Amino acid sequence: MQRTYKFRLYPTKEEQENIHFVLECCRLLYNRLLAERIAAYKQSGRSLTYYEQKATLPERKLYIPALKNVHSQVLQNVVERLDKAYQAFFRRVKNAEKAGYPRFKPESQYNSFTYPQSGFSIEGKQLLLSKIGDVRIRLHRQPQGRIKTCTIIVKNDNYYACFSCEVESQRLPVSEKQIGIDLGVSQLAVTSDGDRIESPKFLRKSEDKLKRKQRAVSKKKHGSNRRRKAVRELAKLHEKVANQRRDYAHKESRKLVNEYGLIAFEDLNIQRMVKNHRLAKSIVDAGWSGLVQFVTYKAESAGRQVVQVNPYNTSQQCSNCGEIVKKSLAVRVHQCSCGYVADRDENAAINILKLALQNVS
């Protein structure tokens, strides 16, 4: 399975110049190779192959010394790009589609180059690029699997690295286990097995800090320097909390997907309207969406099932007999006349699982 990761790069002035230099060398080479293909066809009626053109690279370096400042595999990739453009062209001709002939590239249309195998490595917060430099990279998550290629892209004056990775198919052995999950306010979630997924301490700490900072900003005078400074700090903290939350949601969602064949949630869109939570809504919300979102896509690649159900009455209904047992938010225990007693959220989680199973069968 192939997977692509894209990260923002922050090259220095000098590294930017190097990147643009390589881009321009690649573009000129591309156009030159295209011109030679066209000329060869006109002269002898035959197309040059990828290998024929690749074999010319060492000689080109002799009379165009600038090419020595470009990693050799990056140059080979230019030959490959042109070859792919031709293959696509021939395919279109064969399928009698509208066949645009490969074109010369103006500067505006040549915005990337590729290290197809080597010449790059990630080390800490830097991407080491041969002939470019050690470029600062923002790795918001670790690429999974074996990195095959690295493509540098320049877009709207921003710089990016795209890694194409070979990942093992994540299909897991079949699991008969099923679970319902009630998304909570005082804890992230409670499961139909009675387990609690708590927000970890570090995250709660950061979230408290976030609330305090938010208040601090609102107290400062508009347009003042102190307010600007506080806003900057708040933005930084927001990012930190978002990262912590995401990492945590990744970890918890992985555990759920590994263990259960079917995972049932409340439908968040409906749930937002039904549940009345007084706590900092956006903060709780953010934790939930991450969890549901990550479980959903991990489940997909693992061959697991995720079902979202209408949460209406899931906390009021008795999961044992179906009776409606009215209770306010403050009542944390579900106690039914049928004799069934359970934690309020656990009862809800069991109802969620039941609803999901009705939907499935």
Residues ≥6 apart with Cβ < 8 Å to 268: 183, 288, 289, 292, 308
Q: Which of 323, 324, 329, 358 binds Zn ion (CB under 5 A)?
A: 323
285 is catalytic: no
Q: What are the tokens at 60? A: 């080109």
Q: Does 340 bind Zn ion (CB under 5 A)?
A: yes
Site string for Zn ion, 262-301 (x = CB under 5 A): ----------------------------------------
Q: Does 342 bind Zn ion (CB under 5 A)?
A: no
Q: Does 360 bind Zn ion (CB under 5 A)?
A: no
Residues ≥6 apart with Cβ < 8 Å to 162: 4, 5, 6, 7, 150, 151, 152, 153
Indicate left, alpha or beta for 112 from its phi (over 0: left) and psi (-120 to 50: alpha).
beta
Residues ≥6 apart with Cβ < 8 Å to 269: none
Q: Which of 336, 342, 353, 355 binds Zn ion (CB under 5 A)?
A: 336
266 is catalytic: yes
Q: Does 338 bind Zn ion (CB under 5 A)?
A: yes
Positions in 9-28 near Zn ion (CB under 5 A): none
Q: CB under 5 A: which stretch of 45-53, 92-100, 245-253, 322-330 binds Zn ion?
A: 322-330
Least gap, CB of 312 to Zn ion (angstroms)? 18
Q: Which helix (H) or strand (E) holds 226?
A: helix 225-259
Which one from 15, 83, 182, 252 is the annotated catalytic residue?
Answer: 182
Residue 6: exposed, middle, or buried by beta-carbon count in 10 A (0-12, 13-18, 19+)? exposed
- Would you list the DSSP string of 291-337? HHHHHHHHHHHHT-EEEEE--TTTTTB-TTT--B----TT--EEE-T
24 is catalytic: no
Q: Whose Cβ is closer to Zn ion: residue 156's or residue 337's?
A: 337
Q: Does 52 bind Zn ion (CB under 5 A)?
A: no
Q: What are the tokens at 65? A: 């010394």
Size of the site for Zn ion (CB under 5 A): 7
Q: Whose Cβ is closer to Zn ion: residue 271's or residue 317's?
A: 317
Q: Does 166 bind Zn ion (CB under 5 A)?
A: no
Least gap, CB of 200 to Zn ion (angstroms)? 34
Q: Which residues form the catalytic set?
A: 182, 266, 345
> Which residues are at the interface with Zn ion (CB under 5 A)?
318, 320-321, 323, 336, 338, 340
